[in-house]
C-alpha cells in the first residue's frame, strides 16, 4: 500500500536528467512543470512528447521559450522586425535592456557635431542675447558719438546689417543640424523604450502563464493526495 501511495504521489526517487537532450548536470536542470503550458505545446509539436513530472535543462528551456515568443510575435504582428529579433535575442541571452541610450549616441558624435550643438546651445541662451545686445549698442555708439567725424559704418549702419545677416545665415543651419540630431536622439529613445516595453510584456505574460499552470497543478496534486488519504482512512476503518 505504501508503494502504491508513492507511485500515486510521484515521489519515487529517480536520477534527474533532461528529457530532451539527456543532460544530467543538476545545476542546469529544472522541473518541467515550470516550463508552462504554452512552451510545452511548442515542445510537444516539435518533439512529439512531454512529461511535466520530468526535468529540462536551461539550454533547452531557453531554446523553446524563444521559439514560443517568436511564434507569439509572428501571430500578433505577422512578420518579425529587426527590433523584435533584438528583443528575442535579449530574452534568450537574458540581457538587460535598461540603459541610457544617450551614452552610446554621444559616444558616436564627431567634432563638428559637438561644435554645432555647443553653438546652437550658446545661440539660444540669454548670455548670447545680452552679449550681442551690448555688441550692437557699442557698434552704434562708436559710429554715432565716438567717431562722429569719420565713422567706419555711418548711419543707417549698412556694415552692421551685413554682419547681422551673415550671422543669421550661418546660425540658422547650425541650429537646424542640432535640431536634427535631437530628433534622432528622441527617435532612438523611443525605439529603446519600445524594446523595453515589449520585453517586459513578454516576460510578464510568460510569468502569468507559469503561475497559473503551477497553481492548477498544485490543486490537482492536493486533490490527488486527499483521495489517497480518504482511501487510507477507509482501509483503516475496514480493518477495525
pLDDT of residue 137: 92
Q: Looking at the domain assignment, is residue 35 inside a domain?
A: yes
The domain containing residue 18 runs over which residues?
13-95
CA atoms within a 13 Å half-sphere pointing along the CA-CB vector of 69 = 25
- 138: confidence class by pLDDT, cuts 50, 70, 90: very high
Decide if pLDDT at 10 tops 60: no
pLDDT of residue 1: 41
- 8: confidence class by pLDDT, cuts 50, 70, 90: very low
Cis peptide before 75 (omega within 30 of 0): no
pLDDT of residue 98: 60
- Claim to verify: residue 54 and residue 162 sit in the same structural domain: no
Rounded Cα gap, residues 16 and 54, in angstroms? 8
pLDDT digits (tens, 9 = 90+) for 56-105: 888 888 788 777 777 777 766 655 666 677 766 766 666 665 666 666 66
Answer with the one of 68, 95, 122 that is the final residue of a domain. 95
Rounded Cα gap, residues 229 and 238, in angstroms? 14
| Residue entry with cell 536542470 | 29
Q: Looking at the domain assignment, is residue 215 inside a domain?
A: yes
- Claim to verify: residue 132 and residue 239 sit in the same structural domain: yes
DSSP 8-class letter at 156: T
Q: Looking at the domain assignment, is residue 1 inside a domain?
A: no
Q: Please give the full DSSP string across 5-28, using - where no structure is assigned.
A: HHHHHT-------BTTT----GGG
Q: Looking at the domain assignment, is residue 2 inside a domain?
A: no
- 120: confidence class by pLDDT, cuts 50, 70, 90: confident
- Claim to verify: residue 56 and residue 68 sit in the same structural domain: yes
- 127: confidence class by pLDDT, cuts 50, 70, 90: very high
pLDDT of residue 161: 92
With pLDDT > 70 as the criterion, what percentage of the chain qualifies?
Answer: 77
Rounded Cα gap, residues 83 and 81, in angstroms? 5
Q: Per-residue pLDDT averaged across 199-207, rounded?
A: 77
Amino acid at each position: 500500500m505504501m508503494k502504491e501511495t508513492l507511485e500515486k504521489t510521484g515521489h519515487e526517487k529517480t536520477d534527474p536528467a533532461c528529457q530532451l537532450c539527456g543532460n544530467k548536470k543538476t545545476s542546469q536542470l529544472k522541473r518541467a512543470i515550470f516550463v508552462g503550458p504554452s512552451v510545452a505545446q511548442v515542445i510537444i509539436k516539435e518533439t512529439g512528447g512531454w512529461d511535466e513530472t520530468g526535468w529540462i535543462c536551461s539550454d533547452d528551456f531557453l531554446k523553446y521559450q524563444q521559439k514560443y515568443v517568436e511564434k507569439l510575435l509572428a501571430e500578433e504582428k505577422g512578420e518579425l522586425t529587426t527590433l523584435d529579433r533584438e528583443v528575442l535575442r535579449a530574452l534568450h541571452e537574458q540581457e538587460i535592456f535598461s540603459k541610457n541610450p544617450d551614452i552610446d549616441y554621444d559616444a558616436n558624435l564627431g567634432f563638428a557635431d559637438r561644435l554645432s550643438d555647443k553653438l546652437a546651445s550658446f545661440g539660444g541662451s540669454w548670455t548670447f542675447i545680452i552679449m550681442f545686445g551690448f555688441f550692437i549698442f557699442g557698434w552704434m555708439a562708436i559710429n554715432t558719438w565716438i567717431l562722429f567725424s569719420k565713422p567706419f559704418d555711418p548711419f543707417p549702419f549698412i556694415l552692421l546689417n551685413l554682419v547681422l545677416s551673415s550671422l543669421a545665415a550661418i546660425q540658422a543651419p547650425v541650429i537646424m543640424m542640432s535640431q536634427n540630431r535631437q530628433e534622432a536622439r528622441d527617435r532612438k529613445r523611443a525605439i529603446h523604450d519600445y524594446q523595453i516595453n515589449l520585453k517586459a510584456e513578454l516576460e510578464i505574460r510568460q510569468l502569468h502563464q507559469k503561475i497559473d499552470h503551477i497553481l492548477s497543478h498544485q490543486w490537482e496534486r492536493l486533490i490527488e493526495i486527499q483521495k489517497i488519504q480518504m482511501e487510507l482512512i477507509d482501509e483503516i476503518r475496514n480493518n477495525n
